[in-house]
């Protein structure tokens, strides 16, 4: 119900804003301040997006799909005959063994990074990793689990 009310509010907002600019400037700026304040406290930094001429969406999944569809529609890259460049290793070190860990452990590890230290060979600063930890920890865990699985398969087939 709340989601529906929010969607109806944003659908009518465009007309309200247009009318208030000339008829009641004080009410217009009050509404603008409310919207800025609401968006600054919200977990999403993507404002409501227009689906068609009269409809807006506040749903995160719908907004992600709308943005994805838009960027796919304007992409003109033809990579069918392109080969990837050769990978140049920046180190001779190899991760041979590390224990399976859970996502909470990875979040803890990231939160304890010293932001005053220099970045590693991947050039990701510790500050950036800490500030984006809630967003990147799940994909990082998936990558680590895939690497662990592949290393196990290589070790089993190599013996």
79-102 pLDDT, tens digit per residue, is 788 888 888 888 777 666 555 556
- Within 8 A by CB and 6+ apart from 120, the residues are none
> Which one, of 101, 96, 85, lies nearest residue 140 by Cα?
101
Given this model, what pLDDT does residue 147 score? 77
What's the gap between Cα 79 and its chain centre? 25
Residue 3 has a pLDDT of 72
Question: In the chain, where are the structural domains located?
Answer: 2-74, 103-158
pLDDT at 100: 58
Span 137-147, mean pLDDT? Answer: 82
Please identify which residue in the block is written with the tokens 């592949």. 150
Contact call for residues 75 and 67 (beta carbons, < 8 A): no
pTM above 0.95, yes or no: no
In this prediction, residue 70 carries a pLDDT of 87
């Amino acid at each position: 119900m709340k989601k529906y009310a929010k969607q109806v509010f944003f659908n009518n907002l465009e007309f309200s804003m247009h009318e208030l600019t000339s008829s009641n400037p004080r009410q217009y700026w009050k509404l603008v301040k409310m919207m800025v304040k609401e968006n600054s406290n919200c977990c999403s930094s993507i404002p409501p997006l227009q689906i068609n001429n009269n409809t807006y969406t506040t749903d995160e999944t719908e907004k992600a799909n709308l943005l994805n569809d838009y960027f796919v529609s304007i992409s003109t890259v033809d990579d069918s005959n392109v080969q990837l460049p050769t990978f140049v290793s920046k180190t001779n070190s190899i991760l041979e063994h590390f224990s399976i860990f859970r996502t909470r452990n990875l979040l803890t590890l990231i939160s304890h990074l010293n932001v005053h230290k220099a970045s590693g060979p991947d050039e990701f600063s510790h500050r950036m990793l800490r500030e984006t930890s809630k967003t990147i920890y799940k994909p990082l865990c998936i990558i680590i689990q895939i690497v662990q699985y592949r290393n196990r398969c290589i070790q089993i087939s190599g013996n």
